[in-house]
Amino acid sequence: MAESDIGLDPTFVGGRYRLLEVAGSGAMATVHRAHDEVLGRDVAVKTFRTHAPDPRHEERRRGEMQVLARLNHPSLVRLYDAGTDAQDDGTTQVAYLVMEFVDGTDLRQRLASGALTSDDARLLALDLAGALAYVHALGIVHRDIKPANILVPHADPNHRRRPVKLTDFGIARLTDASRLTLTNTTIGTANYLSPEQARGEKVGPASDIYSLGLVLLESLTGSMEFTGGAVEAAVARLLRDPRIPTHLGGPWASLLPRMTARDAADRPDATEIVRVLRGEAPADGGAPTRAIESPDPADGALTQALAPAVFEGAGTQVMPSASAAVHTAQMSRLGAEQDGQQTRAWRAATLVPELPQDPPAVPSHAPSSARPRGGSAARASRRPRRGLFWAAVTVGILAALLVIVPLVLRAVLPAQPANLPPLPASPAVSGQLGTHLDQLERSLRP
């Protein structure tokens, strides 16, 4: 396109930007690579046509300038300057924008040589989804996501990858702004329109997500999903969903169908897409697996209840909840109480006397009404009684043996001769026990 078509000095724009080759051209404007003679750097100068077919192109230019002036993100083209320049006749002003120049190619030209690998597509999606999350948070909808508006920079001299750049906010709009087009007028590129754009309805951030899904699908397969003319391509997405090849694998096989859902409410937002691509969220939109919190080591009941699930087997075990652990501990205490009751019943049935149990310990800070009466003196008085009880039981058992054993022996053994020596005396035993033994021995002697 000749310089006279845009009415600019063929050498300079704004007195400082020397125009070089044409980098791109559209219906509303032409983009040149230019050199900033003041700062000594290459820039992109976008000049708007004086006779653009859209009567509201001036509003769009202002809107793009206002949008770009607010943006500052690594994956968005930056705006450096804006102004107007007079035509040769000196009466008509031609507007221009000075933006960051990206040394590279656009995604449309890159895909002409073949599809991207899954890893390259993931990096591309991370850059673009991050940029959309940023602009959507500012209340801006791009409305024209397509490969031609995605710039792929060349690697730097150290072969480090540079982030892709989303450009051309000429038809972007604020979500709460008035429309710049007539009612029911569709705006955007037909092959990447969302269903709501194809119906001429109000669009929001979900519309950009749908278009990004089609761009990623094309990047992975190497072919455009909705081809044909404007009407054919626009109507096709109203009749069917995009075809997602199963061989794409994760996360694409689950993520792309959600991004290109016909119902805007079913699509993930840009932030969720970033989390999915980073492996921080499931691609199918399900609830993420939450880590099990470790129980308090001081809580013995919880530790005991959770121990079998943690250490049994090598596979992942289902962990009980805190309420289940408490219930398990309560059941264990109840079983212990039942075992104690059965033990006491068995003792009573076998006539084994049960010793009196000490009362439970009461903290020193407990009220006086909760403490046992008598204090330590009462507990001390019980100890000698328990000793006497066991002494009496021992004496009774020994006495029974001394009575029963001789009688059994007399009945079984023959009578002893009269000349047998007398029985030896029993050893002396002191105390009350010795007294009882002496009495028992005298009663048994002939």
CA-based R_g, the chain, Å: 47
- Tell me which of 173 and 193 has the higher pLDDT: 193
Q: How many CB atoms lie within 10 A of CB 440?
A: 15
Token couple for 103: 């040394």
CB-based burial of residue 102 (10 Å sphere; 0-12 exposed, 13-18 middle, 19+ buried)? Answer: buried
Asked whether the beta carbons of 426 and 399 are under 8 A apart, the reply is no
Unique residue bearing structure tokens 């769009």:
60
pLDDT tens-digit series, residues 375-386: 444 454 555 566
- Tell me which of 306 and 67 has the higher pLDDT: 67
Under CATH, what is the fold of the domain 8-101? Answer: Phosphorylase Kinase; domain 1 (3.30.200)
At residue 54 the predicted structure's pLDDT band, cuts being 50, 70 and 90, is low
pLDDT at 334: 45
Under CATH, what is the fold of the domain 103-286? Answer: Transferase(Phosphotransferase); domain 1 (1.10.510)
Question: Over 80: is that where the pLDDT of 391 sits?
Answer: no
pLDDT at 346: 40
Sequence ranges of the domains in the chain: 8-101, 103-286
Question: Over 80: is that where the pLDDT of 335 sits?
Answer: no
* Model confidence pTM above 0.75: no
Share of the chain above pLDDT 90, in %: 37
Which among 355, 354, 356, 358 has a CA at the least distance from the CA of 379?
A: 358
pLDDT tens-digit series, residues 349-372: 433 344 444 445 545 444 444 444
Please state whether beta strands 150-153 and 165-166 pair in parallel, antiparallel, or not at all (unpaired). antiparallel
- Can you tell me the distance from the alpha carbon of 211 to that of 204, in angstroms, rounded to the nearest whole number? 12
Residue by residue, DSSP assigns 292-359 as PPPPPTT-HHHHHHHHHHHHSSSS--PPPPHHHHHHHHHHHHHHHHHHHHHHHHHHHHTTPPPPPPPP
Question: Over 70: is that where the pLDDT of 77 sits?
Answer: yes
Token couple for 180: 């710049």
CB-based burial of residue 130 (10 Å sphere; 0-12 exposed, 13-18 middle, 19+ buried)? Answer: buried
Catalytic residues: 144
